[in-house]
Amino acid sequence: MSYESWGRAIPSTPSHAIPLSFAPAALPNGELLLAYGLGRSYGDVCLNNGHTLLDTAKMDHFRRFDAATGIIECEAGTSLEAILKAAVPRGWFLPVTPGTKFVTVGGCIANDVHGKNHHRAGTFGRHVRSLELLRSDGALLRCSPTENSELFSATIGGLGLTGLIVSAEIALRKIESPMIVAERIPFRTLAEFDELSRASDATHDYSVAWFDSTSGREPRGIFFRGNHAAHPAGNARIREPHRLPVRLFSPFLMPLTVRLFNEGYFRANAHPQPQTLAYDPFFYPLDAVSNWNAIYGSKGFLQYQFVMPGSVAEVLDRVAKSQLASFLTVIKRFGSLPSPGMMSFPREGTTVCFDFAEGSARLRPLLEELDRIVLDGGGAVYPAKDSRMSPETFRRSFPQFESFARFVDPRFSSTFWRRVT
Amino acid sequence: MNIVILGATSAIAQETARCFASEGASFFLVARDAAKCNVVAGDLRARGAAAADTFIADLADFSTHAAIANAVPQSIDVVLIAHGSLPDQKAIDDDPVAQVAAFELNATSFISLATHFANRTKTLAVIGSVAGDRGRAANYVYGAAKAALHTYCEGLRARGVNVVLIKPGWIDTPMTSHMRKNPLFASAPAAGRLIHDAIVANRAVVYVPWFWRWISLVVRMLPARFVKF
């Protein structure tokens, strides 16, 4: 079994990997531990080089699903895909979902993930009613906003470091239909994006935009927004994902192909019609290819996501000028709803996520420069996607990390944690 | 639909059961570990099962078999026999007690249970293995037990019992967690889906996934001097 992260750019070998197929009564003896779910974190928050991984992907039992209230309790290795399969036919949906359903509940809590409805629903952690945490001293603690509340707050967004998240109770949201009524609207400046975004906050549950990272501080892009359909019509047949049979060779995603892709994508969406589509292609377009990370070839790739309270124009400008083209670039305005998580990444402002193929010597210096712009603007860099931020960038992104460190279980660690502390 | 699962905490059995649970089936689950069996029962209920009762028994102890047969519901649609263990063959090569125990668990106990249920269920589904298609140094006791089971099922079907014999290849489960994974490994959920479909379609023999039929055919045709693995 290989344990790599989604960017595939970080060589890492755990000393042991212990598969958990049921919730354990106690933690295995040994060295430093970290839970590993489906490996969809991009960088090294899910890696524990030289130490032990607890493989939780098969610790995936439901405990309770109340179709009247939409409360689901399940083990932490349960995937969002499994929850959707059970919940959607009964009229419930995930309260918050990231851009892939192949992630575990434990991972969603540990990274306090966000989705296209951050402006309406906040982060995943807001919908966690309680969780069970197994600590290395043998205690199995029930944590909620009222019980062990500090540990609850530290565990949400706590990067899996506060102990093993064994199970969680999640409040789902009611839906009338598995379909989404979606719109795509082209924009040509950052101000246009902002305007669309603010206008949609009041009218749409879900919004996100793609933009052409080669177009500079006034990017052209496509704004996506949608709502759950109001009528129970439609057939949300879910396709099985395809697999790329091989890793493409690295030069496939060179600046020219990225430029062509961006040009074509913008044109294809320039005259859009509103459409009703199944939730799967709306939320999870990349899940259609189960190993889409293989397009980056053998060197892998790196994601860079940040949030800034003010304008992101300077960052966009630097990236466009660097000519280190980003293939898939998304931008979204986070809302102001607070997360219960002490170390949660999302905060009010604009978040942008780039991905860059590994391989250019100019990439690291560019990202260092972006860090400075982001931090000077009062922003933060996202650990779940990171494999290179400096300890200083981490501290300035999360000044509360010292009070968080008190809740870290002494037998838990990660490659990321050792790198930034 | 009433389904009895013997060896209900096995990964393949659980994934098969989840498919039936989403269709509202009722379960009678038999396993050795009470805590795990309860977790599985709760999982199936939460996924839509109409009911999930548990019965704790060590299936290697044949004296429990009659008690199980007495406890199951009167009307049964499917009995799935899915318990078993894959011993480390090298470690028991010279151990007669362990060799026989492995054979008894993987073959004789199946035969005992199949006999109890043959006349009581519409469909008897049995987990065999591609390992039963050819004797190999790596797993010959397990393989021999599964081969005995295959022949037994063939005869049972000829007698008129609806037997679905499932022959999984490599499936990513705790049973194979010590093995290096390769592209021929299938996930347990995928295997569960295929087994569910085979039971519903009442197929006689089904390889899981399908390509093992052809791998197995080639392996069976190899001259003995090439079978040193």
B183, closest residue in chain A (CA to CA): A245
Structure tokens at A406: 């008190």
Given this model, what pLDDT does residue A255 score? 67
Query: Closest approach of chain B CAs to the CA of A21, in angstroms?
Result: 7
pLDDT per position as a tens digit, B135-194: 999 999 999 999 999 999 999 999 999 999 999 999 988 888 888 888 888 999 999 999
User: Rounded to 5 degrees, what angle do the CA atoms A378, A197, A218 make?
Assistant: 70
pLDDT per position as a tens digit, B62-97: 999 999 999 999 999 999 999 999 999 999 999 999
CB contact under 8 A, B43 and A23: no
Report whether pLDDT(A292) > 90. no
Q: What percent of chain A has pLDDT over 90?
A: 74
Backbone angles phi, psi at B64, to 5 degrees: -80, -15
Among A31-35, A245-249, A315-319, A400-404, which stretch is predicted with the lowest mean pLDDT? A245-249
Query: Closest approach of chain A CAs to the CA of B43, in angstroms?
Result: 4
The whole-number average pLDDT for the span A118-127 is 98
Q: Are A30 and A48 in contact (CB under 8 A)?
A: no
Structure tokens at B126: 């049995």
Helix or strand holding residue B145 (H, E): helix B140-159
Q: Which CATH superfamily is domain B2-226 in?
A: NAD(P)-binding Rossmann-like Domain (3.40.50.720)
Provide the terminal-to-terminal Cα distance of chain A, rounded to the nearest Å: 29
Q: What is the mean pLDDT of chain A?
A: 91
Residues A177-194 as b/e (b if ≥16 CB within 10 A, e otherwise) read bbbbbbbbbbbeebebbe
B40, closest residue in chain A (CA to CA): A61
Q: Please enumerate residues of B whose Cβ is less than 8 A from a Cβ of A.
A: 9, 11, 22, 35-36, 39-40, 42-43, 46-48, 174, 177, 181, 188
pLDDT band at A4; cut points 50, 70, 90: confident
pLDDT band at A139; cut points 50, 70, 90: very high
CB contact under 8 A, A74 and B174: no
CB contact under 8 A, A86 and B46: yes
User: DSSP state, A79?
Assistant: B
Given this model, what pLDDT does residue A240 score? 63
B140 catalytic? Reply is no
Please report residues of A whose CB lies closer than 8 A to that of B36.
Answer: 22
- Active-site residue, from B140, B142, B152, B207: B142
Mutate to test the interface with A, among B9, B10, B18 (most CBs of A within 10 A): B18
Q: Which of residues 76-95 of A touch B (CB under 8 A)?
A: 85-86, 89
Helix or strand holding residue A10 (H, E): none
Q: Are A91 and A69 in contact (CB under 8 A)?
A: no
Among A82-86, A164-168, A254-258, which stretch is predicted with the lowest mean pLDDT? A254-258
Question: Is the Cβ of A267 closer than 8 Å to some Cβ of chain B?
Answer: no
Stronger pLDDT, A22 or B180, i.e. the higher one = A22
Closest Cβ opposite residue B47 in set A1, A23, A86: A86
Q: What percent of chain A has pLDDT over 70?
A: 94
Inter-CA distances, B54 with A80, A173, B5, B31, B84, Å: 28, 32, 10, 8, 18
Given this model, what pLDDT does residue B142 score? 96
ipTM: 0.90
Query: Closest approach of chain B CAs to the CA of A64, in angstroms?
Result: 5
Closest Cβ opposite residue B42 in set A19, A63, A89: A63
B181, closest residue in chain A (CA to CA): A1
Report whether pLDDT(A245) > 60. no
What pTM was estimated for this model as a whole?
A: 0.92
Query: Closest approach of chain A CAs to the CA of B23, in angstroms?
Result: 11
Q: Which residues contact A52 (CB under 8 A, 6 or more apart)?
A: A14, A15, A16, A17, A18, A28, A30, A31, A32, A33, A34
B44, closest residue in chain A (CA to CA): A62
Question: Is the Cβ of A28 closer than 8 Å to some Cβ of chain B?
Answer: no
The amino acid sitting at B49 is: A
Listed residue (B59, B151, B155, B143) closest to B103, CA to CA = B143
β-pairing, B26-31 with B2-6?
A: parallel
CB contact under 8 A, A22 and B39: yes
Q: Which stretches within A348-390 are classed as H helix?
A: 363-376
A67, closest residue in chain B (CA to CA): B46
Given this model, what pLDDT does residue A224 score? 94
Given this model, what pLDDT does residue A56 score? 96
Mutate to test the interface with B, among A21, A64, A132, A140 (most CBs of B within 10 A): A21
Question: Going from the N-terminus, what domains does chain A have, and what CATH number goes with each?
Answer: 179-388 (3.30.70.2520)
B41, closest residue in chain A (CA to CA): A63
Mutate to test the interface with B, among A59, A62, A170 (most CBs of B within 10 A): A62
CB contact under 8 A, B181 and A2: yes
Mutate to test the interface with A, among B23, B37, B177 (most CBs of A within 10 A): B177
Q: Are B110 and B81 in contact (CB under 8 A)?
A: yes
Question: Is the Cβ of A21 closer than 8 Å to some Cβ of chain B?
Answer: yes
Report whether pLDDT(A68) > 90. yes
CB contact under 8 A, B46 and A85: no
Q: How is A82-120 classified by DSSP, letter by letter?
A: HHHHHHGGGTEE-SS--S-S-SBHHHHHHTT---TTHHH
Please report residues of B whose CB lies closer than 8 A to that of A62.
Answer: 42-43, 46-47
Given this model, what pLDDT does residue A65 score? 97
pLDDT per position as a tens digit, A330-357: 999 999 999 999 999 999 999 999 988 8
Given this model, what pLDDT does residue A246 score? 55
CB contact under 8 A, A74 and B40: no
